[in-house]
Amino acid sequence: MFEIINYEDIGKNRINESHTLIDVRSPCEYDSETIPGAINIPLFNDEERKLIGTIYNQESVEKAKKIGIETASNRLPNIYNKVSSLDKQYNNLIFFCARGGFRSSSLVSLFKSLGINATKLNGGYKGYRRYINENLPSTVKEILFIVLYGNTGTGKTDILKSLRKKGVDVLDLEDCANHRGSLLGNVGLGKQNTQKMFESLIYESLRTRKTNLVFIEGESKKIGRNIIPNYLYNSMNKGINLRIEASMETRIDNLLKDYVHETDNELISSLNFLRKYLGNKNINKYIELISKQKYREVIQELMIKYYDPLYNHQNRNYNAVFYNNEINTTTQQIIEWTKKVRL
């Protein structure tokens, strides 16, 4: 018989030794969402999983198991090599599939019999998601957020990264979403994270915090397709508000760094979504300017005509204002200001 562990017990008792999580679901399942940090060693590929699932639901469980065993047997030598390598690096290998069923159970049984310290995650990925849904709201309740606000390009995200490097607790929602929040927010970033992965990364970031004082960037309720949970959004709105300002030149430099790196096609595609706000004449002009690599002019006009008006109508009280001319200086000023405030 093999050992089964609940997600909340990882890090306690014997499992406080070095461990890694192994996701044995198909690549498609893993790419959609997984437990942060998990390694994918699939028992079946996407097509095999679909075929076996269809047989399981439409024909018989026994036939599905038989085909599953036949299919997996061809892949086992390669799986063993990967698992054996990980066994040399970690004291505990924790396997999971969708529900903690056939896929993870069969592999844990096999590897345990071969002397590998394999453990099964109880309830699989769905059990983990239940844990996140139950514990993330209570985790957020414990936290006082210091929220950075400011117009586009003032360097809020860079300040968060700088604060993190200095050991300050930070929750970077845009990093969790893999999206910057605006209509052009996915340029150069690739695929946005799913809602489940977004929430998992939020929990992981907060789980590893050292204090209950956490810096965060002010966001609208939605970041691309991801929705900030109500309990988190409400907690942000009750936090300490700081405003970040910067010169137009600094803002343009920041946006050039973030958005312009062989991304012309993505920029043009995203600009087309702004036609209903800025009109065809403006957008056509911006596309022409991009083709001539005149990015600074496009960025400045977009800030003046579109982004700044979105922020300037907000009526918000700020506890302090910081002018971001140089990132390390601004970061240190914020840290020193925080020490003086009675929280």
- pLDDT by 10s per residue, the chain, length 343: 678 999 998 876 554 568 899 999 999 999 999 999 999 999 998 888 888 888 878 787 788 788 888 888 888 999 999 999 999 999 899 999 999 888 899 899 999 999 999 999 999 999 999 999 999 999 999 999 999 999 999 999 999 999 999 999 999 999 999 998 777 777 777 889 999 999 999 999 999 999 999 999 999 899 989 999 999 999 999 999 999 999 999 999 999 998 888 888 988 988 998 899 999 999 999 999 999 999 999 999 999 999 888 877 667 899 999 999 999 999 999 999 998 875 5
The answer as to whether 161 is a domain residue is yes
- In the three-class reduction of DSSP (H, G, I as helix; E, B as strand; rest coil), residue 116 is classed as coil
| Domain span holding position 222 | 142-340
- Helices 102-113 and 76-89, interaxial angle, to 10°? 70
Evaluate whether 265 touches 187 at the Cβ level (below 8 Å): no
For residues 290 and 218, membership in a common domain is answered with yes
Q: What is the pTM of this model?
A: 0.90
For residues 122 and 160, membership in a common domain is answered with no
Classify residue 333 by burial, with Cβ atoms within 10 Å: 0-12, 13-18, 19+: middle
Helix (H) or strand (E) holding 108: helix 102-113
For residues 214 and 318, membership in a common domain is answered with yes
For strands 222-223 and 226-227, give the pairing: antiparallel
Positive/negative CA dihedral, 255, 259, 260, 264: negative
For residues 89 and 226, membership in a common domain is answered with no
For residues 176 and 275, membership in a common domain is answered with yes
